[in-house]
A and B are shown apart, each in its own frame.
Chain A
Amino acid sequence: MNDVIVEFKDLGFQYRAQAKPTLYNNNLTVKKGEKILIAGPSGCGKSTMASLINGLIPFSYKGEITGSLLIKGKESRDMSMFDISHIVGTVLQDSDAQFVGMTVAEDLAFALENDCVEQGQMKNKVQEVAKILNLDQVLRHAPSELSGGQKQRVSVGGVMASDVSLFLFDEPLANLDPKTGKSAIELIDELQKRTGAAVIIIEHRLEDVLHRPVDRIVLMNGGRIVSDTTPDELLASAKLAECGVREPLYLTALKYAGVEIRPEMHPASLHDLVLSRQDEEKIRSFFIKNQKGKRALPEGNLLSVKNLSFTYEKTEKQTLKDISVDIGKGEMVAIVGTNGAGKSTFSKVVCGMEKESAGEISFAGKDFSDYSIKERAEHVGYVMQNPNQMISKVMIFDEVAFGLRLRGVPEDEVKERVEKALEICGLYKMRNWPISALSYGQKKRVTICSILVLEPEMMILDEPTAGQDYRNYTRIMEFLKELNDRGITIVMITHDMHLMLEYADRSIVFNDGRIIADKTCAEVLTDTEIVDRASLKETSLYHLAGKCGIEDAAGFVQSFIDYERENVRK
């Protein structure tokens, strides 16, 4: 059990284009059968670390490596990409790009084809992997016919087919709905138990990964490993907060209640968490102290949608079925629901990017149907889910200024507004960089920034916080809140249940092209039928409340949010 798979010795790396190194003197060992989580703020070098392990650096990205990296005892610089690929199986963040085959079966077989495995044997192996991953029904499907969760499974299957001793996952949970995310983590866990291989997971959603135990958490900040220890040890320290990484919500609640967290309490899992009488008492009294009244709902409709239906060209199934919903002026609402439920499609239809097959859309009393995309965009700003679709300029500054310039805003005002928006999105220091040098989370922020700067009457943000660290998450969401307080209507599509609870007045739940609920967020999450049908998940705060015998779990969550709003976010 003791063979070392990967070993870093004073490893550092500097990208060719960068003036300073991205990684400095890191030491790390990964042994067979271990499961390790790498966490850290956006842009701290996690993906760079992954590229070093799987050989993309130096074989694909150029730059300067210092120190040494041993893979199964051999210096990685002396190995070929193929040698490394037989040891390390990588599941990239972008499961679309990783899907190179024309159908699921071909993609699962890809590595085998390259190893010249004979066809009969290959078919058996593909069947076997498909069965394990529950993909045998969709073997002949093209990537466009799969849901996000299924694509994720295919990319896992693609590396499973060849027996590797280390699995590397770069942000496997981004864009998955809560329930699918949960099963992805379970899948990884089973995978490891079945193969006995080591697993490295890079992820911002710490709490979700900890749904199944990990051996160690490696915390990175600014290109350095700042901590490498067991989850219990790390969670009991203040290091996560120092680095701007979100700790599990239930721990934050404990801290607010004045409970001191020690490793012996097993803070890594709410299920195993040991709380003393006094601790529980502290939590209960925190709840009572902080109960507050609810915010009144605003009046007057801004966007009003009636009996909307929509079908994509060349498909048979209706994607949106008879949708009716009103969104009031000055509201901040969340749209949630299963992967593939039609949330993004709904936003596109509202913005005129797709033409509804039936139904009416009106905005501030005017019929929207005769408006072009451009005219609608003057009222409704839409930040798309995938940042790559929105970026049209080369440099960050130009991209954010693009919309303002097209609207004929004078150049000095453009400069002022753009710089302010860049500041909010944490990009000011990089304003003169080309967008191609950014990490995924940074790109997403550029697109948010380029719509923020236009200040439309209503904004729709598709997964605004996917791939963001806690610091940027807070900064962006607080700014949206500020805009909302100034009367701008905000619609957020999200898979993050706590974001919904914290910021939305109301939540609209999509399932299979229909709206199955439209009520306050707390009501949605306490309705088990809806939670189940829409693949949602209660946050751990609900379970913490249960553990401490607080019956009004929704009220507990609300007091947590109010407390945070008053004492922490200022």
Chain B
Amino acid sequence: MNNLFNYIERKSPIHELTGATKLVCLFLWSFAAMTTYDTRLLVVLAVLGIALFPVGRIRLKDVSFMLWFTLVFLVLNTVLVYVFSPHHGTEIYGTCTYLFGLSGHFAPTAEQFFFQLNYILKYFATIPFVLLFVCTTNPSEFAASLNKIGVSYSVSYSVALALRYIPDIQKQYHEISQASQARGVELSKKASLISRLKSASAILVPLILSSMSRIEIISNAMELRCFGKNKKRTWYMAQKFKVLDYVSMIVCALLLVASLVLTHINGSRFFNPFK
């Protein structure tokens, strides 16, 4: 199970923070990175995020696979933005500085490059932190943390159930697809879109129908053990806040404040070196 979200069990200060703290920090951090386009703050966030990796004792090797995925996604998106809006930067920064003496619709401008640099930086400001969160947070504790930061326990438990049953459903999907191939359903990769959808439904229908009976059995099993009896419930995996927890949350809150203040000072979400 723990493999799915790449949780890596090690001893480190970050591992020892409670899940609730990390979740709050994740929200504050992503919000800070989301609101601002200020290059300076983005650089700070990116550097800080990467610097936390050794603290959490996570090596590049541990996340290389996810990193690759992200990079491909990033390159694609950057290209797309350029193709669709080569003048987005010009519009934002209000000036137009053609580079290399070229001009025309697709001609490169300094503003566009700067915008896209920020765009890329924005990824680097959030991704390392999210990766770190993924690697250092025990999924079992995740649900308890949600409840702790104010999400109702029913919804928190839905999250726990989803985490619990993802591997099971994955395995079942695999098995059903094998069983239907054994009965003669064709799942070839070369088939047309419509026939691929059709064979996908041949697996999907049994998968969903059996999930419906699973829902019934699980809710019976839960009710038989008094789930939903009280307005509150306790959590086996819950942890108490320590000093470091408060410190981390304050630091992240400050980052968000910095982001908001900068937006106010700049007069917009962008830091404009062209004025």
Contacts and interface: CB of A to CB of B under 8 A. Distances in A.
Tell me if chains A and B make direct contact, with any CB pair below 8 A.
yes
Interface of A: 54-56, 59-60, 81-82, 85-86, 89-90, 92, 94, 96-98, 100-103, 105-106, 109-119, 122-123, 126, 142-144, 158-159, 162, 314, 348, 351, 353, 372-374, 376-377, 382, 384, 388-394, 402-403, 406-407, 436, 450
Contacts of A85: 223-226
A372 B181 contact: yes
B179 A384 contact: yes
A291 to B, nearest CB: 43
Interface of B: 1-3, 139-140, 160-161, 163-164, 167-168, 171-172, 175-176, 178-186, 202-203, 205-206, 209-210, 213-214, 216-230, 232-238
Given A102-B163, A106-B140, A144-B1, A114 B181 contact: no
A114 B206 contact: no
B227 A114 contact: yes
Given A54-B224, A113-B235, A116-B234, A374 B186 contact: yes
Contacts of A390: 176, 179
Nearest to A56: B220
Contacts of B214: 97
Contact of B234 (A56, A117, A353): A117
A101 B237 CA distance: 11
Contacts of A82: 226, 229
A56 B184 contact: no
Contacts of B224: 54-56, 81, 85, 89-90, 92
Nearest 9 pairs of A and B residues by beta carbon: A406-B184, A377-B182, A109-B236, A353-B178, A97-B217, A373-B181, A111-B225, A392-B206, A142-B1
A158 B221 CA distance: 10
A332 to B, nearest CB: 22
B237 A106 contact: yes
A102 B164 contact: yes
A139 to B, nearest CB: 10
Given A102-B139, A103-B140, A142 B227 contact: no
Nearest to B225: A111
A274 to B, nearest CB: 42
Contacts of B3: 314
A406 B183 contact: yes
A538 B206 CA distance: 40
Given A56-B220, A392-B203, 15 more contacts: A60-B220, A60-B223, A97-B214, A98-B221, A102-B164, A114-B226, A114-B233, A115-B226, A144-B167, A162-B225, A351-B182, A373-B182, A374-B182, A389-B179, A391-B209
A488 to B, nearest CB: 17
Given A100-B221, A116-B233, A122-B234, A111 B179 contact: no
B45 to A, nearest CB: 32
A394 B219 contact: no
Of residues B161, B216, B220, which shows the largest number of chain A Cβ atoms within 10 Å of its Cβ?
B220
A100 B164 contact: yes
A391 B210 contact: yes
Nearest to B222: A100
A384 B203 CA distance: 16
A106 B178 CA distance: 32
B219 A60 contact: yes
B236 A126 contact: yes
B231 to A, nearest CB: 9
Given A384-B175, A406-B185, A97 B167 contact: no
B186 A100 contact: no
Contacts of A55: 224
A353 B182 contact: yes
Contacts, number: 154
Contact of B205 (A117, A122, A373, A392): A392
B220 A92 contact: yes
B172 A110 contact: no
B200 to A, nearest CB: 13
A280 to B, nearest CB: 49
B209 to A, nearest CB: 7
Of residues B185, B203, B210, B223, which shows the largest number of chain A Cβ atoms within 10 Å of its Cβ?
B223
A369 to B, nearest CB: 16
26 contacts: A54-B224, A56-B223, A60-B220, A60-B223, A86-B226, A92-B220, A97-B214, A102-B140, A102-B164, A110-B225, A110-B227, A112-B236, A113-B233, A114-B229, A114-B230, A116-B232, A122-B236, A162-B225, A353-B178, A374-B182, A389-B175, A392-B179, A394-B209, A406-B183, A406-B184, A406-B185
Given A85-B224, A392-B183, A115 B139 contact: no
A55 B2 CA distance: 35
A105 B236 contact: yes
Contacts of A56: 220, 223-224
Of residues A106, A113, A377, A382, which shows the largest number of chain B Cβ atoms within 10 Å of its Cβ?
A113
A110 B164 CA distance: 14
A113 B176 contact: no
Nearest to A60: B220
Contacts of A123: 236
Given A407-B184, A436-B213, A392 B176 contact: yes
Of residues A59, A114, A142, A384, which shows the largest number of chain B Cβ atoms within 10 Å of its Cβ?
A114
B184 A403 contact: yes
A102 B230 contact: no
Contacts of B235: 113, 119
A98 B164 CA distance: 12
Nearest to A96: B168
A373 B202 contact: no
A200 B87 CA distance: 76
B217 A94 contact: yes
Nearest to B219: A60
A135 to B, nearest CB: 15
Contacts of A106: 140, 236-237
B236 A158 contact: no
B247 to A, nearest CB: 24
Nearest to B237: A106
A97 B172 contact: no
Contacts of B218: 97, 100
B77 to A, nearest CB: 30
Nearest to B212: A436
A123 B239 CA distance: 13
Contacts of A373: 178, 181-182
Contacts of A389: 172, 175-176, 179, 210
A144 B168 CA distance: 8
A388 B169 CA distance: 12
B160 A102 contact: yes
